[in-house]
Structure 1
Amino acid sequence: MSVSKPRQTLQLPPVVLGGSGFSYQVHPDPKSVPVSKIIRHAFDVGIRAIDTSPYYDPSEFLLGEALASPEVSSKYTRSDYILMTKVGRISVNKFDYSPAWVRQSVQNSLERLGTTYIDAVFCHDIEFVTVNEAVEAVGALFELSEKDLVKFVGVSGYDLDRLVYVAHAVRERYGRPLDVVQNWAQLTLQNTRLERYGVPALREAGVPVICNSSPLSSGLLRANGVPVGNLGDWHPSPNGLRAAVKRASDWTETQNSTLAALALRFSVAKATRISQDGVSVHTLLGICSISDIEENVRAVQSILLPEAEVKNAPNDDVVNISHLRRVNEVVEQQDLVLSRKVRQMLGEWVEYDFEKGQGKQEVVPWWPGISAGVLVMGISFLLYWMQLGGF
């Protein structure tokens, strides 16, 4: 496939609104959620990017209705915000990554969201399909990007190794890197593998934008426990980890903070610190209510500062977190004391991997004279070849 268009970079605010909060996975009655009010409030405070998926039923339907409502459309036009969705995952155990379904899925999303284009589309949870299926699906999205139905193309999932393998395989096959990669629950107070391994390896693959989803590890790192919707308790965390989190949460509240706020500040600060050398990292927030937005905005405002001092600002009371780009070092240092204690309390569960289990901390590949990224690339190509029947 030839790619004729000059490459641009997806421009995202520091934090993105996650649409999974409007799904049966995490909410018992998502249709009762005031989505229009939530979206309007999010846009007003500078969170003007949304990430969703057909798998987050009925999120796309609800978002489409909200974006078309007078409450939102009276102030914001389509060019004022970014929409991201996914293809490939249909249900808990059903996946279709065929080019035909990728095209149909994008068309379905366009109709549900009420738009003529989608800013970014991810292949959803690629660890559940073969490398070749994921690469073929990316190719179908690249073709849709040539038709201006999709602006940026990416992959998403939990397994960082698979994300890195596919990123290198895509670059080798199509002669261009992915535009964006989304990983979840691995740049958190409990698991920092995205920082230690994922960002350097994806940078080597030429990926310019990384989305860190689930800074609270899909609701694990909070006082109330994991969210349970109509689909039941799907969270992969073991009971031992949940018990350790509860103890850490109780202790954090004795320090005039909450585990959720501390975890969010930790994750946002990390994302900001590692946004360098041609890669930007953005945090996706699960939001189900106006109060969720307000709590998240308070946390972000406390840990981030404006990129530069703005002289003669028209109204200093207006909140716009899209301009917050620098870490507040005073708050960061205070949080480090709490964060270290929390990680000590998590004990054996620090860096626990939901797929690989305990004791599987990442050792970045190395060989004398060969960079980690080059070695990862070589391994990814080998795995890709094997998927194609090379062995």
Structure 2
Amino acid sequence: MTDTPLRPRGDLPSEISPIVMGGAAWSHQINADAETRPVIPVILSAFSHGIRTIDTSPYYEPSEKILGKALSDAAISAKYSREDYFLMTKVGRIASEEFNYSPQWVRQSVERSLQRFQTTYLDVVFCHDVEFVSDNAVVAAVAALWEFVEQGKVRYVGISGYPIEKLVRVAKLCKEKLGRPLDIVQNWGQLTLQNTKLRDQGLEELGKAGVKVVCSSSPLNIGLLRAQGVPIGSLGDWHPAPSALRQATANAAILVASHNDDLASLALRFAVRETARRDPGLPAMALIMGPGSVAEVESCAAAANSVKDVSVKGKYGDLRDDIVVDEEGVKKDQGLVDGVRRILGDWVDYSFGSPPEGWDVEAGRMGEV
């Protein structure tokens, strides 16, 4: 393990970069060739653009191993010290239908992640996909993570998941039962061109629970909002979107292409603008993108930079600063945004079911037939 100094807790909203590099691209769920993808050039490209936060999970096997090895490579470590980037990972989810939120496993998982990343501390650890286990199990796991905070091995504690009502309820329960609020919450697929429930229904309530930062991941809704359709990895076609939603999205992609634009690019711009908004009294937001190649990093950075008002703050190409949105760009895209949402129709703000029907939350597994 690299002898990195421990870092105290600080101002979380200013430490996490507005754009986060997700680690799922190095998982077999997304890419069967995860081990052979060019991870070091991708990280170097992201860091050079100011995308200095990485988010991953042991569930995204073998992402932690791949990213940890890459970050320790001299090609990166000679240029960037551990303090130059912000590292987030998770505990609790082991496989598609396997969860372990016991304090003992949480401790083992954190220690394993520290070893894989060859570091003495992790900036954030989330409890992964909390909707699959009971509220009490999440509270117990969060309590175990706070032990690592006291030891200096974890700096901030959070939860992740899909149903907004579960995230809000658990955040309030953690504050009530443990006497301290969660630092950060991660939600996926619900601050997108198709679904904006996170901002409309969750942000204010999470703020009331004391949460400082909310991360919105999957701006393309795990690959739905792109012309080529959902990704197919080692798990086959696992995407939860119904066929009618997929067809409506394909029709929307045709509309966008007819205006010499691309659905994925439009969706990225929309998501960057939404997470860049800073409403007084509400948690700060960060957007997690999942580039798996240098070209995809460049596309993510271009989308983020294209919505910036560079005359207000920062400079083009550096995404470490808060993004101040160019309002003229908002007006320019509004017609296409409205057109896509008209085509989606009743599928606007549609949320997937999670966990699936028949899941036993108390047991953390599918119920007996």
Normalising by structure 2, we get a TM-score of: 0.91
Measured after TM superposition, the shift of residue 12 of structure 1 is 1.2
| Equivalence map 1:24-63=2 (5 Å) | 24-63=28-67
Match of 1:321 among 319, 330, 342: 319
Question: Over residues 43-76 of structure 1, what are the superposed CA-to-partner deviations in whole Å (9 max), with x where a residue is unaligned?
Answer: 0110000000000000000001110112111100
Change (3 A) 1:330 1:230: same
Q: In the alignment, is residue 298 of structure 1 matched against residue 296 of structure 2?
A: no
CA contact (8 A) 1:249 1:258 kept: yes
Q: Where do 1:132-151 residues align within 5 Å?
A: 132-151=136-155
Counterparts of 1:1-391 in structure 2, within 5 Å, are 8-10=11-13, 11-306=15-310, 308-309=312-313, 319-355=317-353
Change (3 A) 1:172 1:16: same
Q: Deviations over 1:249-299 (max 9, x none)?
A: 011011121110111111111111245425101100011100001111111
Amino acid at match of 2:60: Y
Measured at CA, do residues 98 and 258 of structure 1 come closer, stay the same or move farther in structure 2, by a change above 3 Å?
same
Superposed CA deviations along residues 148-189 of structure 1, whole A, max 9, x for unmatched, are 110000000001111000000000011111000000000000
Please list the CA deviations of residues 27-46 of structure 1 after superposition, one character each: whole Å capped at 9, or x if unmatched: 02101111011101110110
- The Cα of 1:319 is off from its aligned counterpart by 2.2
Aligned CA distance change for structure 1 residues 344 and 103 (closer, same or farther; 3 Å): same
Task: Decide whether the 8 Å contact of 1:307 with 1:324 is kept in 2.
Answer: no
Task: Determine the structure 2 residue equivalent to 1:373.
Answer: none
Are the aligned partners of 2:185 and 2:213 in contact in 1 as well (CA < 8 Å)?
A: yes
Tell me the secondary structure at the aligned position of residue 28 of structure 2.
coil
Shift of 1:94: 0.4
Contact 2:175/2:209, CA 8 A, preserved across alignment: yes
The separation in 2 between residues aligned to 1:44 and 1:202, in whole angstroms, is: 32
- Aligned partners of 1:156 and 1:181 also within 8 Å: yes
Give CA-to-partner distance per residue, 1:193-216, whole Å, 9 cap, x none: 001011011011110100000011
RMSD of aligned Cα (Å): 1.8
Give, in whole Å, the separation in 2 of the partners of 1:97 and 1:22: 24
Are the equivalent residues in 2 in contact too, given 1:88–1:96 (CA < 8 A)? Answer: yes
SS of the counterpart of 1:165? Answer: helix
User: Partner amino acid for 1:284?
Assistant: I
SS of residue in 1 equivalent to 2:220: coil
- Label 1:9 to 1:323 Cα distance change in 2 as closer, same or farther (>3 A): closer
Q: Is the 8 A contact 2:204 2:282 kept in 1?
A: no
User: Contact (CA 8 Å) 1:274, 1:280: kept in 2 or not?
Assistant: yes
Change (3 A) 1:309 1:6: closer
CA distance in 2, matches of 1:7, 1:114: 22
Q: Which runs of 5+ in 1 are unaligned?
A: 311-315, 358-391
Contact in 1 for aligned 2:162/2:354 (Cα 8 Å): no
In the alignment, residue 331 of structure 1 is paired with which amino acid? G
Q: Structure 2: 5+ residue runs without aligned partners? A: 1-7, 356-369
- Pairs aligned (count): 348
Tell me the amino acid that sits aligned with residue 290 of structure 2: G
Normalized against structure 1, the TM-score is what? 0.86
Instruction: Kindly provide the amino acid, as one letter, of the partner of residue 122 in structure 2.
Output: I
Letter in 2 for 1:297: A
